[in-house]
Amino acid sequence: MLLKIEKFLNTKWYVIGIIVLTFIFWILQDKSSTSIAISKEPMFFVSLLFITVAFTLVAVFFKNTYYLVPIILSAMCIIGVSQRAFSVDFFKEAAYLYVLAFILFSALIFHIIRYKVKLKVGALTIGLMLIAIGYILPFRINEETEPNMVINIVYTIAGPLYLLLYTFLISTSKEKNPEKYIFVFFMLSILISAQFIVQYINCIKEIIDLKQADNIFDAINYGISKKWSNYGIGFELGYDNINAGSMYLAFFLPTIVYYICKKKISWPYVIYFWLVIALVMISASRGGYIGITVSAILCIVLIFMFGNNQSKILLVICAVLLITVTLIPFNENKESIFGAIVERVLNSADDLEGFSNGRFELYREAISEFIKSPIVGGGHIHFTDITQENRPVFYHSTFFHSIGTMGLFGLGSLVFHIVQLVKLIKRKWSFEIMIFGVGMLATHIHGLIDNTFYAFYYMIMTIIMYSAIENTDLSLTTPFKKKVKNVSEEKVVENLE
């Protein structure tokens, strides 16, 4: 019986099933709900219960923890209630969270004991260990941190948890083929894209109902101008905001390119490629614009290097059609979606503080905390986020967040980690690993002015990607030709097949 189940867990249908169920649980949750109490939002509890049961069963009965990867990634996208529900109070009104967390932790311990797991030291262990220490060193108890001590502890132990997750996965996952991981991330991009589409449809309907627009294009223009908020319910993913969602789509965009280059019939993937770009471009997320632009440019280069002629021609045709649609005037004022996007990009360009959306204020605060404690930084909770009460600040920049929260020790740890990561990617270099590398490069560039590295969901996704690279068997990957220009297109395509 278990052998039959494991055979199913090794198929793409298992991943697809988890993604579909996650989308169903997500869509059934009330996006306007600001409570996660069982009595007020039972579907939130049912969703987490589904993840807990699935995770526990797989961890207990199967040795290969690759089967946990789709569950872990889906768990991050299953939360559908409003972000406003996640303040300090949510730890108090949802005691069941501690019970579910205990069950998950117990399942991992049981797995380690039952299968006599020998924990490995990986290529990234030292760097992640230094980052984990960087999380712990600035921990302090004072008048400022004591009221939010629970969150202070949660953020402090996040670093050690990333290290433990990485160590656990490289020690227990038996999957050596990176293509299996690429498919999981590809399906995750489809899940997030579907969630974006649902929210855009809800927002457009809401805008038209509020009589702020007469048609779909006018509603999109209004949504961009309002950053899809500041009216009614607005855009509400639940587990994260539209900026982070845009970053995830940029992160996973290269996985689409993988199938464009690998499949002989590539047109569905080319269309989906441009759909993802369109979803981000109308998001009004300027950070998202940077991430998707960098990722798209790198991806287009890859398609022209390794794709077949059909892919290249269709790529250009779709690009022309998409640009044409955005340039079409949709009202009496001759406004277009392209004009709305440009206006959003240039909004408050004459006022740097307004243009940066408060980032310079955050950067100054990070420098201030760094000056006070240059070695270990000011910690993760020294004041509440200016945009949300009872929420720790993120400095919207990997560099400034490093020095502001963890000082020189944190910045040095990050640099050491990146050096280790580059060495690992170089050692495992192949077409599949390059797909991971392009996504990470794009989001790190995005991270110069926004939250990427250190953000909880992004770190979990990245740690799983690290484990995939670490465990890769190069004999199962697609090697590169040293001089692509000297290789005929037919041979390149054949090589990728």
Residue boundaries of the structural domains of the chain: 1-117
Q: How far apart are CA 68 and CA 70, in angstroms?
A: 6
Residue 451 — φ and ψ, nearest 5°? -80, 115
Per-residue model confidence (pLDDT) at position 89:
62
Per-residue model confidence (pLDDT) at position 33:
67
Q: How much is the CA Rg of the chain, to the nearest whole Å?
A: 23
Among residues 379, 405, 393, 454, which one has the least CA distance to residue 158? 454
Tokens of 343: 């206006």
DSSP 408-475: HHHHHHHHHHHHHHHHHHHHT-SHHHHHHHHHHHHHHHHTTSSSBTB-HHHHHHHHHHHHHHHT--GG
In the chain, % helix, strand, coil (3-state, to 5) comes to 70, 0, 30
Per-residue model confidence (pLDDT) at position 30:
77
Per-residue model confidence (pLDDT) at position 343:
81
Residue 23 burial by CB count (10 A; 0-12/13-18/19+): exposed, middle or buried? buried
Q: Which residues pair with 452 in a beta bridge?
A: 454
Within the chain, which residues score under 50 in pLDDT?
Answer: 384-388, 482-497
The region that residue 486 occupies, defined by phi over 0 for left and psi between -120 and 50 for alpha, beta otherwise, is alpha
CB atoms within 10 A of CB 116: 7
Give percent above pLDDT 70 in the chain.
Answer: 84
pTM of the predicted protein model: 0.90
Among residues 141, 140, 88, 123, which one has the least CA distance to residue 406? 140
Tokens of 441: 């490069």
Q: How far apart are CA 175 and CA 468, in angstroms?
A: 8
3-state SS class at 384: strand
The answer for residues whose C-beta is within 8 angstroms of residue 101's C-beta and 6 or more apart is none
Per-residue model confidence (pLDDT) at position 486:
32
Per-residue model confidence (pLDDT) at position 261:
92
Residue 392 — φ and ψ, nearest 5°? -65, 150
Q: How far apart are CA 299 and CA 257, in angstroms?
A: 6
Q: How far apart are CA 192 and CA 115, in angstroms?
A: 34
